[in-house]
Amino acid sequence: MYDKLDRIWDLGIDSLKIDGRMRSAEYVAIVVSIYRKALEALSHGKWSPNDEDMNRLKLAFNRGFTQGYLLEINKELVMGREAPGNRGLYLGKVSGYIKKDNLAIIKPDGLSRYNLKNRYRLEKNDGIVFICPDTDEKIYRERKLGMLIEETPKYEGGREKEKLLLKTKKPVQPGCDVYITRDVSLIKEANDIIHGKSYKFSIPLNMRVLWDEGNVPVLVGDFSLDNVRKHEIYLKADFKMEPAIKSPLTEEKIINQLKKTGNTLFSIQKLEIEYPGNLFIPLSKLNGLRRDFLMKAQREILNDHKPFKNSIKLAEKNLKITREELKNLMNLSKISLPNSPLNKLEEDLESADSALDIAVYVSSLEAMNGALDSGCRRIYFEPFLWEHHDRELSCNTFNCKTYTEMSYELIIKAQKLCDAKEAILIWKWPSITRESYIKHFSPLVKPLSDKGLKEIMIGNMGALRALNDLNLPIKFSGSVGLNIWNHKTVCNYSPLLSRVTLSNELSREELALITAGIQNKSVNTCFDFVVQGNLESIVSEDCVLSILTPHKQREKYQFWGLKDVKKRVFPVIIDDEGRTNILNSVELCLIDHIPDLYQIGLKHLVIDARSRTEDYAQNMVALYKRGIKYVAKKGVHTDHLEKLKIRVKKLSQGGITTGNFIKGLNENL
């Protein structure tokens, strides 16, 4: 987004993120440097895109550039679907090859805005790549030849007829595109940045110099850290300047001395001087005055960020309380961990209030029927229209009117099915809820409430606020989209949500800390926890199936997946809004950990059966309900649960995993 930074700036965004993951230190140094300088120029109102900086960004590493979903007019341009690899900086095209000398003749074409020599001068040890078309009757692919330049290239001809003669190890055919992928001078620049030789962050400071009636110099200055609040500094010297006898200090000399900021935080942006002239003082005195002034400016920054004494005392008090709370939490959570005795589990399960129950996420009426037939009495329904109505292409979306009308009809049918089985229906909203979705679906809440709907599950706070503003007798629950990791978050959500779904990235020890943390607190929120299903890994605005032919996209009931280098297949679902949902390659399965879940305090277990069949929902619910009965009637019998796990594995898509429940999240990944 470099060339559109001024538009980003005008949005009032406080911070920009540069993704340096899986990139070299040199890449990060160059990119951060370019953006940092651009932002500083923008703060002074003096920035415009620079072609040279854009070339340096391309040379650092690129697979092509995009403005992202924020600024790109055509969202198809956001994705680079070519093979991965550094594209580099386009240099020109091979126009001929001198076989006897192994010389490729390179000329600029219409894509090259400058002549070769002036646009970018190649040096020894630079890297280039030739990308050549290779066609046959059926497919089109590219051949690539990369090389380091071992001899300094030769430039011939004038501006209009310029050509570059480049020695190559292998012949290259005319028509190949040539890109620079490694630039020695850029690598040196990056190393200078890394070692602090070439770039230093500075705060622009304005300075005004004047003299009072006694010829005492006075420095007045100001700077801003946030472009809003101005910090002002005033310093009067403890000496006066004397009339010069021989060599008075010139105005230019005074300015040069006062502009020297050295290794301080500041750089002089603007300096005004009102010098009466014909005065003298040793330069050491003037330098000392400048140092004192800059030190005073630095103290201004420190004082501005220093908290008040009352704030420090409050922070120390809160820290002490938090430490005590965490200590108590650790003690309480030990009671809930699987190593503790389970002798009360059987008696507890006989009480209806504390019994484990099974809920299910479904996206079709057929899967809902299957879950209801197996005795599930809590149904989360997120209707996928594509499962009920044909769409011409996988990436097509329904218009808003059709979308809302069809969804309303499905929810009405779902409510009748649940009422007939005395089950509770919860309308599950998408975790990513666009403003357009809220706008068109909020009006459905009142008529659905009148038809018996009593609860809606949301995945973000924007949707919750919009629904809460309706002031209807509807309860709200939170999905994993809220990303709940600790008991403090639960306490904050408690007044608004009747139940929340804890993150599946938590281990059993971390889950125990949450349930222990709400003990002895006025929190009435219930905990849901997903125990079975292919969990979402990625949700992308890009419809990945758009690369397929229309004929392929029209195939009904077709399974789609992404296969990685380890042959693992990640199921792909294109939702009703055209987004790609990539699921985990294996299903989460915690059926053999039901005793642990109950002891931790997670009594409401959820099976994710969205986009799955009626048989899957029916059989999976039945297996988990049987597992609960085994534990309730016979205590902990691992053999019975292991047999159930084998049956679950046969139903599962891609195999099974315990996820992070046992080992937790590996923070080193």
Backbone torsions φ then ψ of 368, nearest 5 degrees? -60, -45
Using CA atoms, how far apart are residues 626 and 447, in angstroms rounded to an integer? 37
Is pLDDT larger for residue 545 or for residue 417? 417
Query: Could you tell me how far CA 298 lies from the centroid of its own chain?
Result: 35
Please, which residues bridge with residue 203 across strands? 266
DSSP secondary structure string for all residues of 262-283: TTSSEEEEEEEEE--SSEE--H
Structure tokens, 123: 């040096």
Beta-strand runs (E) in 49-139:
89-98, 103-107, 127-135
Tell me the per-residue pLDDT of 1-38, one tens digit each, with 9 for 90 and over.
888 889 988 888 888 899 888 888 998 999 999 998 89
| Mean pLDDT in residue range 371-392 | 90
262 band by pLDDT with thresholds 50, 70 and 90: confident
Q: Is the pLDDT of residue 342 over 50?
A: no
Evaluate whether 565 touches 318 at the Cβ level (below 8 Å): no
Using CA atoms, how far apart are residues 528 and 418, in angstroms rounded to an integer? 20
| Mean pLDDT in residue range 319-343 | 67
Evaluate whether 494 touches 469 at the Cβ level (below 8 Å): no
pLDDT for 3 equals: 87
Where do you find CATH 2.40.30.10 in the chain?
89-185
268 band by pLDDT with thresholds 50, 70 and 90: very high
pLDDT for 110 equals: 52
Among the residue ranges 159-163, 244-248, 334-338, the one predicted with the least confidence is 334-338
Structure tokens, 297: 């400016």
pLDDT > 70 in the chain, percent: 89
Give the Cα-Cα-Cα angle 94, 105, 181 (nearest 5 degrees): 60
Is pLDDT larger for residue 232 or for residue 107? 232
Structure tokens, 117: 């020599």
Using CA atoms, how far apart are residues 399 and 114, in angstroms rounded to an integer? 47
635 band by pLDDT with thresholds 50, 70 and 90: low
Using CA atoms, how far apart are residues 432 and 463, in angstroms rounded to an integer? 9
Among the residue ranges 64-68, 88-92, 199-203, the one predicted with the least confidence is 199-203
Where do you find CATH 3.20.20.110 in the chain?
352-533+586-657
Using CA atoms, how far apart are residues 120 and 149, in angstroms rounded to an integer? 14
Give the Cα-Cα-Cα angle 625, 631, 632 (nearest 5 degrees): 85
CATH for 89-185, among 2.40.30.10, 2.10.50.10, 2.40.40.20, 3.40.50.300?
2.40.30.10
Hey, what amino acid is at 244? Answer: A
Is pLDDT larger for residue 73 or for residue 305? 305
348 band by pLDDT with thresholds 50, 70 and 90: low
pTM, to two decimals = 0.75
Class of domain 352-533+586-657: alpha beta
Q: Is the pLDDT of residue 135 over 70?
A: no
| Mean pLDDT in residue range 582-595 | 95
Report the mean per-residue pLDDT for the chain. 86
Query: Could you tell me how far CA 640 lies from the centroid of its own chain?
Result: 43
Evaluate whether 489 touches 458 at the Cβ level (below 8 Å): no
HSE, CB side, 13 Å, CA atoms: give it for residue 167: 11
612 band by pLDDT with thresholds 50, 70 and 90: very high
Beta-strand runs (E) in 384-458:
424-428, 455-458
pLDDT for 335 equals: 52
Structure tokens, 145: 């030849």
pLDDT for 140 equals: 46
| Mean pLDDT in residue range 208-212 | 95
Give the Cα-Cα-Cα angle 355, 358, 363 (nearest 5 degrees): 160
